[in-house]
A and B are shown apart, each in its own frame.
Chain A
Amino acid sequence: MDRSPIFEAVGVQKAFPGVLALKGVNISLLPGSIHALLGENGAGKSTLIKIITGVHQPTAGQLRLDGQAATFGSPRDAIARGIGVVHQERNLFPRFSVAENIHLERLAMSYLRPVDYAALNRAARPWLEALDLDIDPATPVSELSVARMQLVEIAKALSLQSRVLLLDEPTASLTSSETDRLFTILRRLRDDGTSLVFVSHKLEEVQEICDRVTVLRDGANACESRSMEGVDRKQLVQMMIGRSEGAGAWRHRDRRDQPEVLDLAGVDTALGHRDVSLTVRKGEIVGLYGLVGAGRTELAKAIMGQFAVTGGEVRVNGAPVKIRSVAEAIHRHRMGYISEDRKSEGLILQHSVLANAGVPIWRRLAQAMGSLTDGRVRKVASPFLTKLEVKTPSLAQSVGNLSGGNQQKISVAKWLAANVGFLIVDEPSVGIDIKTKAYLHDLLRELADNGTAILLISSEMPEMIALADRIMVMDEYRIRGEVTNSGVYAEISHRIMDRIHDAPQPAA
């Protein structure tokens, strides 16, 4: 089939003060194709996306639409020319209805004429139907599940007559069944002639759905719009990081003879958990697997004392405890929690690297009258920041200015510095690249080998199977069963899904 590209970027450069983010990048998008855009954090993917969608203007190079040179002065320009984007961060207004969100750009065509809601809802329906979304357009977005919000964003992009649709990590917060549905829809859009760009860190998904691929490394093409045919995972990784993936696979460890660090016996919580029993031993990594909404993060927060435990017993190091606040969990029981949401719960973005890395140890390091100098904090925290290879111009840099991977390293470093005996790690690899992820995995194993008890929460089955010694399966705020990890993906994933499906499934 002879197809000429809808969109091309040729020799695109982008300079920011002090950095050349893109050094002459090419990409060409064909109609009816799903094009993977890969690269580690900081490789220039987001910059390229922002240039394609008109947020940034290239310093040099050319954008071509249907073979004609095009310039986008603003995102509106790009939208008007048929380039839509679904951003990684949600861009919906939660209190507005689905229809209002879809039509936001055209909502206020005239200042005084009242909005015709009936027409709005009518106009929104076909787009929702195109995505098999069975929801009333008048529903406020805040009442939808994360997956459905994602689909509403796609509906919005489609309603703008997008011929090119960029999807930035669309599956980051979806479960595997939701991902499958999304893929079905993406394939249909592809078959209808839309040109899709798929950005993801999950190579399994890229291999499943993409037919062409562009890889960026350090702001340049590591490969340029080539066919996915005959490209295997190893090659992709090689192109992304410039070397082969570190091994760091699962290995058998038995901790059954070790003392119990955390023991939940028939615990109920104020959030609705019922009869939750689980044990984490010294040096053990226990996985807590479940679909989004199964109640895992909520359980973690209840363990940490943010929400009340209303029944059953919590034992820390063998002694029954009642933890009334997170401060108590951290300072008295030496527990730690690495949040899945590092931007709003893990880090204080406007504060410096040092201030973030030191928070849990401030109290411990304080001297007379609660006085504390930066020097004391630095002495304890900076070895861990160095060990994790946090890249920052200085310890005084605001964390918000660093890349996602570096932010994640800081939120881990802070708990390493706190020297906790029990650590809950919630979705540790959301939004970080392969290299950092492999590194984090090694680090978690090393931590466990040195005696830290770890409760790992992850929706990523490969991650779970690579790390956990035992896996507890949670669904609807209850533990559905336990699987001893053998490291064999096919077997374990099957057994885990069985545990979930044994229970009566609500309509997805």
Chain B
Amino acid sequence: MSVAPVPSALPESSSDGFARLSRTRFLLSNEFGLILLIAAFALLFAVYTSGFLSVFNLFSLGRNAAVNIMIGLAMMTVIVTGGLNLAVGAIGVCAAMGCGWLLQILGLPWPVAILGGLALGAGLGAVNGWMVVRTGLHSFIITLATMSIFFGVMIFLTRAEAFRDFPEAMTAFGKMRLLTYLSPLLLLTFAVALALAWLYRFTVTGREMLAAGANPAAAELSGIRVGRAIILCHMLSGLLAGIAAMMLVTRNGAAIPSMAGQLGQDWLLPAFLGPVLGGTLLQGGKVSVLGTVLGAFLVTMLSSGLLMLQVGAFWVQTFLGLMLLVAVLLDKARRSWLARRNLA
């Protein structure tokens, strides 16, 4: 038998119901668990390291978190469709190099160059999406291929040489500190996260993306243009990867082909850690922007704190991997606990 907590007809004051339900749910949610973890680790690092709460460390922590969160969001927008985007790093580097080329070779003003770089990122994402829709293959295959293709073409065109002549205006932004410790990059990331939350919660396009991700057949028969929604998701992913890359460029003052490692693979771990820790379903159809932000922040904080505890860099990687496993198992346990009590 499929459930039947035999209720009456529809509760009239459903808006009240929503509010009360969501408050209880928040305390039981993944996001709340992440907040607790962040608080606990922050306390731990503050007590056991010197300098974790120093102005300099908070600034660099925020700046790193800004980039990692953005990378996580870039992956999240594709996970929504039940797919993934292995080419986030490659697209990011291409966007950065494109921006450098527009600036240095064509001599365009920097705002135009940045927009050009972002457009390139979005365009490459759209190419991914278009191929996924047209071939019907899983995005894993498509983006595995395009990761190498995008990166290879970029190396060929740039001859693997970095662009380093970025104007003062751009690099100053990366170094700017508000209230002595806050990076404007972090504020930019929060603004983007808010925009995404609004997209999924309060726009038709966002709802259609979620519906298309959860059940493409049902979505199509309900009048959603599923192919278009999926292409949009990939395009958004490319755009966000581009933004993350631009943030790195302003921080480093250069666009370097190896800024995300070989084929952009260095971005993959942070890209998956954020959404998965944050409770975005890998099957697609459910998304938590707040969770992704918190998850990516937690990861950034852990790496920084563990390094300050003088744990070796390799152990940090190991610890992050363990963290991912434990978090996912805990979340699974939480879900089945909730399901047994008919709360979710």
Using Cβ atoms and an 8 Å threshold, which residues of chain B touch A283?
Answer: none
Contact between A401 and B223, CB atoms less than 8 A apart = no
Assess whether B72 is interfacial by the CB under 8 Å rule: no
Q: At the interface, yes or no: A490 with Cβ under 8 Å from chain B?
A: no
Give complex CA distance A360, B205 in Å: 13
Complex Cα spacing A488 to B38, Å? 72
Instruction: Decide if B14 is an interface residue (CB 8 Å cutoff).
Output: yes
A11 at the interface (CB under 8 A from B): no
Instruction: Please state if B217 and A345 are interface contacts (CB–CB under 8 Å).
Output: yes
Stretch at the interface among A224-232, A363-371, A449-457: A363-371
Complex CA gap A326/B219 in Å reads 10
Is the CB of B314 closer than 8 A to any CB of chain A?
A: no
In the complex, A47→B2 CA distance in Å?
A: 8
Residues of B near A395 (CB, < 8 A) are 10, 14, 17-18
> Known: A360-B223, A370-B205. Is A385-B214 also a contact (CB below 8 A)?
no
B223 touches A372 (CB 8 A): no
Find A386's partner among B9, B224, B341 (CB 8 Å cutoff): B9
Measured in the bound complex, the distance between the Cα atoms of B257 and A80 in whole Å is 63
Q: A344-B215, A371-B202 are in contact. Are A362 and B207 (CB under 8 A)?
A: yes
Q: Is the pair A18, B342 in contact by a Cβ cutoff of 8 Å? A: yes
Whether the pair B17, A403 counts as a contact (CB closer than 8 A) is no
- In contact, B2 and A401 (Cβ under 8 angstroms): yes
Asked whether A45 is an interface residue with its Cβ less than 8 Å from the other chain, the reply is: yes
Q: Chain B residues near A331: list those with CB within 8 A.
A: 223
> Is B15's beta carbon under 8 Å from chain A?
yes
> A323-338 toward B: CB 8 Å interface, digit per residue (1/0)?
0011101110000010
Nearest Cβ on chain A to B36's Cβ, whole angstroms = 24
Q: A24 in the interface, Cβ–Cβ < 8 Å?
A: no
* A448 on the B face (CB < 8 A): no
> In whole angstroms, what is the CA distance A80 to B132 when docked?
47
Of the candidates B9, B204, B219, B220, the one whose C-beta lies within 8 Å of that of A363 is B204
Quote the shortest CB–CB distance from B220 to chain A (angstroms): 5
A319 at the interface (CB under 8 A from B): no
Tell me how far the C-beta of B43 lies from the nearest C-beta in chain A, rounded to whole angstroms.
Answer: 35
Interface residues on B, range: 35 or more
Q: Is A44 an interface residue (CB 8 A)?
A: yes
Contact of B1 among A47, A326, A386 (CB under 8 A): A47
Q: State which residues 266-324 of B face A: CB under 8 Å.
A: 281, 285-286
Q: Is B137 an interface residue (CB 8 A)?
A: no
A378 part of interface (Cβ distance < 8 Å): yes
8 Å CB contact of A392 from B7, B203, B214, B225: B7
Are B207 and A46 closer than 8 Å at their CB atoms? no
Tell me the chain B residues, 197-236 only, with Cβ under 8 Å from chain A. Answer: 198, 202-205, 207-208, 210-211, 214-215, 217-225
Give A328's nearest chain B residue, CB to CB.
B223
Q: How far apart are the CA atoms of A46 and B4 in the complex, in Å?
A: 12
Q: Does A369 contact B203, Cβ atoms closer than 8 Å?
A: yes
Contact A393:B221 (CB < 8 A) given known A46-B2, A355-B207: no
- Interface residues in A385-443 by Cβ distance below 8 A to B read 385-386, 389-396, 398, 401-404, 414
B281 to chain A, nearest CB (A): 8
Known: A394-B17, A395-B10. A359 touches B4 (CB 8 A): no
Q: Cα distance A401–B15 when bound, in Å?
A: 20
Contacts of B221 in A (CB 8 A): 304, 306, 326, 337, 339, 345-346
**Interface contact A372-B203, CB-CB below 8 Å:** yes
A246 CB contacts on chain B under 8 angstroms:
none
- Asked if A350 is at the interface (CB within 8 A of a chain B CB), the reply is yes
Q: Are B207 and A382 in contact (CB under 8 A)?
A: no
A18 nearest CB across to chain B (Å): 5
B3 near A401 with CB under 8 A, answer yes
Interface contact A372-B202, CB-CB below 8 Å: yes
User: Are B204 and A362 touching (Cβ within 8 A)?
Assistant: yes
Known: A351-B210, A403-B2. A414 touches B9 (CB 8 A): no
A351 proximity list for chain B (CB < 8 A)? 210-211, 214, 285
For window 5-32 of A, CB contacts with B under 8 Å fall at 16-19, 21
Residue numbers in A under 8 Å from B205 (CB-CB): 370
B219: chain A residues at CB < 8 Å are 348, 359
CB of A326 within 8 A of CB of B220, answer yes
State whether the Cβ of B46 lies closer than 8 Å to any Cβ in chain A. no
Q: Mark A226-258, 1 if CB is under 8 A from B, else 0.
A: 000000000000000000000000000000000
B128 to chain A, nearest CB (A): 22
CB <8 Å contact, B10 and A402:
no
A177 at the interface (CB under 8 A from B): no
Q: State whether A326 touches B14 (Cβ < 8 A).
A: no
For A347, the closest partner residue in chain B by CB is B218
Complex interface: chain B residues within 8 A of A371 (CB) = 198, 202-204
Question: In this assembly, does B5 line the interface, its C-beta being within 8 Å of a C-beta of chain A?
Answer: yes
Contact B225 A373, beta carbon cutoff 8 Å: no
Contact B14 A366 (CB under 8 A): no
Cβ contacts under 8 Å, A339 to chain B: 218, 221
Out of A327, A337, A403, name the residue touching B4 (CB < 8 Å).
Answer: A403
Contact B341 A42 (CB under 8 A): no
B159 within 8 A of A: no
A375 interface hit (Cβ, 8 Å): yes
Contacts of B341 in A (CB 8 A): 17-18
Most-contacted residue by chain B among A337, A373, A395 (CB, 10 A): A395
Is A386 in contact with B10, judged by CB distance below 8 angstroms? yes
Q: A386-B10, A389-B9, A396-B18 are in contact. Are A346 and B223 (CB under 8 A)?
A: no
Least CB distance from A218 to B in Å reads: 9
Q: Contact between B4 and A390 (Cβ–Cβ < 8 Å)?
A: no
Q: Does B21 contact A (CB under 8 A)?
A: yes
Q: List 17 A-B contacts (CB under 8 A).
A: A17-B340, A45-B1, A325-B225, A326-B223, A330-B223, A344-B215, A347-B215, A348-B285, A355-B211, A362-B207, A363-B204, A392-B10, A393-B7, A393-B11, A394-B18, A402-B2, A403-B2
Sample of 15 more A-B contacts, CB < 8 Å, known A348-B219, A391-B7? A42-B4, A331-B223, A345-B217, A348-B215, A359-B211, A359-B222, A360-B223, A363-B204, A370-B203, A371-B203, A373-B202, A382-B14, A393-B5, A396-B17, A403-B1
Please give the residue numbers on chain A whose beta carbons come within 8 Å of chain B beta carbons, in ascending order. 16-19, 21, 42, 44-47, 50, 304, 306, 325-327, 329-331, 337, 339, 344-351, 355, 359-360, 362-363, 366, 369-375, 378, 382, 385-386, 389-396, 398, 401-404, 414
* B residues in contact (CB < 8 Å) with A: 1-11, 14-15, 17-18, 21, 198, 202-205, 207-208, 210-211, 214-215, 217-225, 281, 285-286, 340-342, 344
Considering the complex of A and B, which 7 residue pairs feature the smallest CB-CB distances, nearest first? A330-B223, A359-B222, A46-B1, A47-B1, A348-B215, A366-B204, A42-B4
